[in-house]
Amino acid sequence: MEYGTIEREIHVDASPDIVFEVISTPQHLREWWPDEAVIEPVPGAIGELVFGDRADPEAHVAAMTVVEVDPPRRFSFRWIHPADEVARPGNSLLVTFDLTPSGSGTALRMTEVGFREMGWEVAVLEHEYQDHVSGWDHFVPRLAAYFDRLVASR
Amino acid sequence: MSVAVDDHLWSAIGDPTRRRLLDLLLAEGTGTATSLSARLPVTRQAVAKHLVVLDRVGLVHVTPQGREMQYRIDEAQLARAVAQLADVGATWDARLRRIKAIAEAIQRTKQTKETN
């Protein structure tokens, strides 16, 4: 397994066409991810994901660049790169959705890569965290107790 | 949201030796570069450098103890690091659940129309 990757797979009881539409069009994107999405599902298109109310100075705006559009099989994009830079490995995370027909529905697989390139070791940590390997066998149970204490003290 | 992940905190905790140091400090409460290096296959100097990195991101507290520095874990900062870690995966789980719900609702609506 590539440590710099987060992978998830779920089954959706809907056709690949419908799932593709939900993951790639702004009107659906804003229902499952940001509060607002400005994006054309066309390779190379540059758009934005707005978290919060755009008028609010606290709102977070993330840049997004569409990489691959292959309906109803694959949709991928890079995001969080600086708005004035071209998205590339090292300044962004690459999210890929792969859709495969499965029974009467769709197997939807999501991968997010680029944490390592971004200097984040998050994927390594998540892998170890979930598998409870080596030192984390000791580490994780104790953390649960720390959390409880922290929450209790608030 | 993964955007909020703190780069420095992550790279500090991403190193296996530093994670082992955190483990030892959690188990033993406090430690010095000397006491910790006795438990690890690395030199005292290397341990001291790693402890400086952990200190810089606030994961440990330092107290002078005679000629040495004594280290202990900053629990709040460690909890914060782990919360961020759990967050990235959990956030995608939540997004995918929403995708599933939306797509399945559309599919049901479509089927209802077709059968009517």
* pLDDT tens by residue, A21-77: 999 999 888 888 878 889 899 999 999 988 778 888 777 788 899 999 999 999 999
- Give me the pLDDT at residue A3, please: 46
Nearest to B104 among A14, A51, A60 (CB): A14
Contact present, B37 and B43 (Cβ < 8 Å): yes
Cβ-defined contact of B89 to A6 (cutoff 8 Å): yes
Q: Which of A16, A13, B102 is nearest to B94 (CA)?
A: B102
- Give me the pLDDT at residue A59, please: 74
Q: Could you identify the residue written with the tokens 């399945």?
A: B104
For residue A13, give the DSSP letter: S
Question: Which amino acid makes up residue A21?
Answer: E
Chain B: residue whose CA lies nearest to A134: B20
Chain A residues within an 8 Å CB radius of B85:
122, 125-126, 129
Q: Which of B23, B74, B15 is nearest to B50 (CA)?
A: B15
A108 touches chain B (CB under 8 A): yes
| Angstrom distance (rounded) from CA A71 to CA A75 | 7
Cβ-defined contact of A120 to B23 (cutoff 8 Å): no
The yes-or-no verdict on residue B2 having pLDDT over 80 is no
Angle at B16 between CA A91 and CA B9, to 5 degrees: 45
Nearest to B20 among A22, A51, A135 (CB): A135
CB atoms within 10 A of CB B77: 18
Collapse the DSSP code of A135 into the 3-class scheme (helix H, G, I; strand E, B; otherwise coil) and give the result.
coil
- Give me the pLDDT at residue A123, please: 47
Average pLDDT, chain A: 77
Residues in chain A: 154
A143 touches chain B (CB under 8 A): yes
pLDDT in tens, A97-114: 999 999 999 999 988 887
Angle at A144 between CA A143 and CA A150, to 5 degrees: 85
Average pLDDT over residues B39-60: 92
Angle at A110 between CA A106 and CA A115, to 5 degrees: 180
Lowest mean pLDDT among A106-110, A118-122, B39-43, B100-104: A118-122
- Give me the pLDDT at residue A4, please: 58
pLDDT in tens, B80-90: 776 666 666 67
Q: Could you identify the residue written with the tokens 């420095």?
A: B8
| Angstrom distance (rounded) from CA B19 to CA A150 | 21
Cβ-defined contact of A139 to B23 (cutoff 8 Å): yes
Average pLDDT over residues B91-95: 83
Is the Cα torsion angle B88, B89, B94, B95 positive or negative in sign? positive
B26 touches chain A (CB under 8 A): yes
Cβ-defined contact of A110 to B96 (cutoff 8 Å): yes
Cβ-defined contact of A150 to B5 (cutoff 8 Å): no
Average pLDDT over residues A110-121: 69
Report which of residues A116 and A1 the model is more confident about.
A116
- Give me the pLDDT at residue B101, please: 93
Average pLDDT, chain B: 83
- Give me the pLDDT at residue A126, please: 53
| Angstrom distance (rounded) from CA A119 to CA A90 | 8
Cβ-defined contact of A120 to B5 (cutoff 8 Å): yes
- Give me the pLDDT at residue A55, please: 84
- Give me the pLDDT at residue A98, please: 96
A8 touches chain B (CB under 8 A): yes
Nearest to B92 among A6, A142, A147 (CB): A6
The yes-or-no verdict on residue B31 having pLDDT over 80 is yes
* Model confidence, pTM: 0.60
The yes-or-no verdict on residue A12 having pLDDT over 50 is yes
Collapse the DSSP code of A123 into the 3-class scheme (helix H, G, I; strand E, B; otherwise coil) and give the result.
helix
Contact present, B43 and A154 (Cβ < 8 Å): no
Chain B residues within an 8 Å CB radius of A103:
none
The yes-or-no verdict on residue A142 having pLDDT over 60 is no
Contact present, B96 and B50 (Cβ < 8 Å): no
- Give me the pLDDT at residue B6, please: 62
